Structures are given as C-alpha cells and as structure tokens.
Amino acid sequence: MARPRYRSTGWTLALALALAILPSAQAQEAPKGAAEPGAAPAPASAPGVGRASIVSLVSKANPMLWALALCSVVAVGYTLERMVALRRNRVIPRDFVNRFLERLGTGKLDRDRATELCRSNDSPTGRVFGHVVRYWGQPASTIRIALDHDAAREVADLKRNVRVLNGTATLAPLLGLLGTVIGMIQSFDAIGGRAGGSKSEALAQGISMALVSTAIGLAVAVASVAAYYYLLNRVDILVRDMDDHARSVIDQVSAEAIRPVDRRVDHPRIESRSQHSHPI
C-alpha cells in the first residue's frame, strides 16, 4: 500500500515563509533617499534596539541571526505541516471506521473484501486495519504480536517530522549564545581605537545589540518546545485511539471469533467409554 509522503511538505512551508520574510527585511534595511533642499534636518534619534537596528544587525554585524531566522522558519513550517497532517479525521476517518466495523460485525466482509476496503482508504487507520486483516483467522495473541511490529512503522511516520521541532528547540539557544559571543567580540574590537566618553556608549550599544541574538534564540526554543510537546501529545492520543479500534477488529477476525470451541464434542466419547467399561 502506498504511503503519503510528508517529508517535503515541511520544507515547502519553511521555504514559503522565508520568501515572505526576506522582502520585508530588505525593505527595512534599504537606505532612505536624500532630504529635499531646504528641508529641516531630521532630529537625531536616541540610540536603542528597534526593528531597524535588528535588521541592520542581521545584515551587517551578526551572521548568527541568519541561522536563527532559518530555525524559526523551519519550526513554524513543520509545526503547520504536522498540525495539518495530524488532524483526527485524516488519521482516523470516522466514516471509514464506522462502516468497516459495522460491516465486519454483521458478517458482510470476508478476508478479500476487507483487504480491498482497507486498500481503498489511504490513512494510517486503514493501513493498521489492513495489517490486522492480513492475519485473518490467526489466534488473537498472534495477531496482537504481529500488529505491534507492523504498526510501529505507522507510529514512526506520525512522529517523524515532530522530531524536527526538538532539534530547533535544542539548536536555537546555542546559536543565540554563539551570536552573542560573536557580537560582543565585534563590539570590543570596534571600540578598541576609540577615545573619550564614546567608548562606554559604543560598548553598551554593542552589547545590547549582541544580546538580541540570545533573546531570539530563547524565543525560538520556547516556541519549538511548546509545539513539540503539543504535537507529541496529539500523536499519543491518536495512537491510543487507533489501538482501541484495532483491538475491536482483532476480536472479530481472530480464530477464537471465527471458530469457537464447542466443548460438547467430548460428551459422546465419554458416554461410549462408560458403556464399554460397564456392559449391561
């Protein structure tokens, strides 16, 4: 059975977000035109860290902020992709599950028809039901052991892209700290040749701008951790529900349900023995 490919979707969303962010960043760092003749000079603004200074820091001073921007775009892209892929109706289609269990319970499905119905539904639940139907007529314990091995692939597919968020949560603070160290080194190098009171002002401004990378790294890490545990909890809930439905199917296709044991077959044998042992 063909499986849906979700690996490239997260990268597609991340690339789309990056292309949407870059034009706005370039517009912010574009130099303003010269003042018109006779116009009053614009008042000097107080030094600080704003959006313009952050864009300037990204483009000129601190290269680590580009890596942090990439981490944030990847985290947002994969979060959106997993939220779409882990919708309940996509993983456990209600109509398919109800129709399959109803027809199986009323005896309208045999092994071939059940297999064809599972193949027609391209969902994790449909593939899990297909694994169960493949062992039609086997003992329930055997089916459960085989299902634990076969369904592990489906669980891994549900969790695959969630691990990317764990990676961004771990990498973003380290990149932020590295960016801060690089920014502070550049600040000390820049004020090395200055004299007078401008040294302290340049050092304070350089350190404040360097710390922006740490703040951005922590913000990306916090958002990634929150999204990671939210999606991991959603996967656990969906896996538990799929397991409950799979157990219902096992109870109806196992050997115990198809060929129940009739213990009365031993009574005539016991009676004949008694008659043979004590003839009248």
- Tokens 């050092």 belong to residue: 203
For residue 6, the model assigns a pLDDT of: 46
Residue ranges of the domains in the chain?
59-259
- Do residues 111 and 134 make contact, with C-beta atoms less than 8 angstroms apart? no
Q: What is the mean pLDDT of each run of 10 residues along the chain (280 residues)?
A: 48 52 46 45 48 55 81 94 92 92 86 89 90 89 87 88 91 91 80 63 76 91 95 94 92 76 41 43
DSSP state of 9: H
From residue 193, give the alpha-carbon distance in Å to each of 91, 160, 186, 202, 203: 63, 52, 13, 12, 12
For residue 234, the model assigns a pLDDT of: 95
For residue 36, the model assigns a pLDDT of: 46
Closest alpha carbon to 153 in 131, 183, 122: 131
For residue 197, the model assigns a pLDDT of: 55
For residue 107, the model assigns a pLDDT of: 83
> Residues 6 or more apart from 159 whose CB is under 8 A from it?
232, 235
Angle at 84 between CA 79 and CA 87, to 5 degrees: 120
- 172/243 Cα distance (integer angstroms): 36
For residue 224, the model assigns a pLDDT of: 95
